[in-house]
Amino acid sequence: MEKEIKWWKNAVVYQIYPLSFMDANGDGIGDLKGITSKLSYLKNLGVDVIWLSPVYESPMDDNGYDIKNYLEIDPIFGTMKDMKHLIEQTHQMGMRLIMDLVVNHTSDEHHWFLESKKSKDNPYRDFYVWRDEPSDIGSVFGGSAWEYDAQTNSYYFHLFSKKQPDLNWDHPILRKNIYKIVNFWLDMGIDGFRLDVIDLIGKDIDRKILSDGPHLNQRLQELYDECFKGRDIMTVGEMPGLSLERAASITSGEKPLLDMIFQFSHISLDEVPGKGKWALKKLDLIEFKNVFERLQNVMYKDGWNSLFLANHDQPRAISRYGNVNFRVMSSKMLATILYGMQGTPYVYQGEEIGMTGVKFDHIEKYKDIETKNIYQILTNQGIPHEQVMESIYAKGRDNSRTPFQWDDSKNAGFSKGNPWLDVNPNYKDINAKNDLSNHQGVYFYFKKLFQIRKSHQVFLDGEFIPFMKENKKIFAYYRKNENDQLLIIGSFSEEKMHIEIPGKIISLLISNDDSVEINNQMDIPPYYACILRIGEK
């Protein structure tokens, strides 16, 4: 019997960063009622699943990825009633909603941690990781991963900010408490989870093994058995530290531990190897293409993967991989080469209208803890302000967190209040109202692309065959199965190019410039993209 196609294999997933999507009550902060008011905008785009970044009670040290109470909605976003209404409305419109599960760590204001730090024999002590002496493990956000606490003269472990103490997943009672939280939300009717840095829950800190630790599969198996098994849901694990092969093993087989993952091998290509994200390196398109070719071939023996270029942690895709001087063309080109591949497509809020990165003139304008920490660290090392700002302009997370640009009114129509983070000054030109007023806009191109994906089986099961593999400016590949053969072409060049296409061109499915003549010898404009149906030679 043909392998049943899981609904999430071809579902378009749209990530909402709630702080910045839509503010309904005018306090300058995005909220649940704001999201609910925009559901038809998402439905019309062709969205099947909403991935909602955290809205749980949080001190907002890391914008909600530091959770104080998993079972309550933070008042800045609204109430549990608002959340239930959002879930119900999303379902009524034929969409699904997954939430962000952040269980590698909690906030240091979570009552578990407040108890754990009280004494060494507190029942909650071993919910976290305490040692008498720190090791030399560093935090992702800079500095040591250990923080001294005088109350018990000990150090606690925090891979992220010191207000995000890591949970001790070796503790069975902790795990049981996590499963209760997961089942609480699944029983509420959400349709699954994006699992935050879930590659870390198998860590062995004393052996300094953090990602993909010795206990990872065991932890994921128990989580699956206790929570996910038997439910018609979707799970996507954020697993920055996993190899492709391990990622494939976790998402393959009859009962995958997770349905798909966010794999990061394409994310580190524009940083100096081993020096981290702030050490900038020009992207080499050949490397970029090779990573995706490996992803397409290794991952899909029988695993499954997500297709993404952007999220709330990454710079805006156009500014990073495209060209803001060819904003609309390169937005569409990136979408074409990304969503032509096999995998579940992810859109990050604003990607569908060509939103770009931001350059605030003063560091005080930036809100992200990671950016503020690195600014202090690098300038204290004597690196000039201008050089540090170049890295922040290129890689800072606030690039993708500026308020959604709905129209050209005050605050881009995001809020009647004073936005928590400044709106990108280019909102007068770049906004949903402008983009949707033009049928050649980015939104309608994404919409058509998703319609094409859903109406052609070859996107689901077609073999990935590179084309023009050695070309430094063109990303092209075939998708081929027994009934169909498509050629997906994307130019990363700001010059015109001439390309030769072998075989019989049967039809054009989509392009970002319909004035271009389609034939076997094509002259294509900068950032041109198209999908062609190709017959046998």
Catalytic residues: 196, 238
The 3-state DSSP class for residue 56 equals: strand
Q: Does 140 bind ligand TEU (CB under 6 A)?
A: yes
61 interacts with ligand TEU by CB under 6 A:
no
User: DSSP per residue over 270-295, as a string?
Assistant: GB-TTT-TTSB----HHHHHHHHHHH
Nearer to ligand TEU, 373 or 379 (CB): 373
Q: Work out the number of other CB atoms within 10 angstroms of the CB of residue 204.
A: 12
Q: What angle do CA 265, 271, 274 make, to 5 degrees?
A: 80
160 touches ligand TEU (CB under 6 A): yes
Interaction between residue 23 and ligand TEU (CB under 6 A)? no
To ligand TEU, the closest distance from the beta carbon of 63 in angstroms equals: 7
Question: Are β-strands 56-57 and 69-73 bridged in parallel, bridged antiparallel, or unpaired?
Answer: antiparallel
**Nearest CB to Ca ion, comparing residues 25 and 122:** 25
Size of the site for ligand TEU (CB under 6 A): 14
In one-letter notation, the amino acid at residue 287 is E
Return all residues near 313 (Cβ < 8 A) that are at least 6 apart: 397, 400
- Given a contact cutoff of 8 angstroms between Cβ atoms, the answer to whether 215 and 170 are in contact is yes
- H helices of 316-359, in order, are 317-321, 327-339
Q: Which residue is nearest to ligand TEU (CB)?
A: 65
3-class DSSP state of 111: helix
Q: Which two tokens stand for residue 118?
A: 């009280």
User: Whole-number minimum distance, CB 238 to ligand TEU, in Å?
Assistant: 6
471 closest CA partner among 456, 491, 496:
491
Decide if residue 62 touches ligand TEU (CB under 6 A).
Answer: yes
Query: Is residue 270 a contact point for ligand TEU (CB under 6 A)?
Result: no
Nearer residue to ligand TEU within complex by CB, 347 or 534: 347
What is the CA 277 to chain-centroid distance, rounded?
16
Q: What, of ligand TEU, Ca ion, none, does residue 18 touch, CB below 5 to 8 Å by kind?
A: none
Residue number with CB closer to ligand TEU (262 or 443):
262
CA distance 247 to 243: 6
Residues 368-387 interacting with ligand TEU (rule: CB under 6 A): 370
Pick from 102, 103, 347, 392: which binds ligand TEU (CB under 6 A)?
Answer: 102
Q: Which helix (H) or strand (E) holds 177?
A: helix 172-188
What is the pattern of x (binds ligand TEU, CB under 6 A) and - over residues 399-428?
------------------------------
Dihedral pair phi/psi, residue 133, rounded to 5°:
-130, 145
Work out whether 65 is an interface residue with ligand TEU (CB under 6 A). Answer: yes
CB-wise, 163 or 453, nearer to ligand TEU?
Answer: 163
Q: Which of 125, 69, 64, 97 lies closest to 368 in space, CA to CA?
A: 64
State which of residues 197, 388, 432, 489 lies at the interface with ligand TEU (CB under 6 A): 197
Does the CA dihedral 155-161-164-166 come out positive or negative? Answer: negative
Residue choice 277, 289, 332, 479 for contact with ligand TEU (CB under 6 A): 277
Subset of residues 3 to 42 that bind Ca ion, contact rule: CB under 5 A: 23, 25, 27, 29, 31
Q: 318 with 399: CB under 8 angstroms?
A: no
The site string for Ca ion over 368-407 (x = CB under 5 A, - otherwise) reads ----------------------------------------
For residue 199, the partner it binds in ligand TEU, Ca ion, none, with Cβ less than 5 to 8 A by kind, is none
Q: How far is the CB of 62 from ligand TEU (least distance, A)?
A: 5
H/E segment holding residue 435: helix 432-436
* Positions that interact with ligand TEU (CB under 6 A): 62, 65, 102, 140, 160, 196-197, 238, 240, 277, 312-313, 370, 397
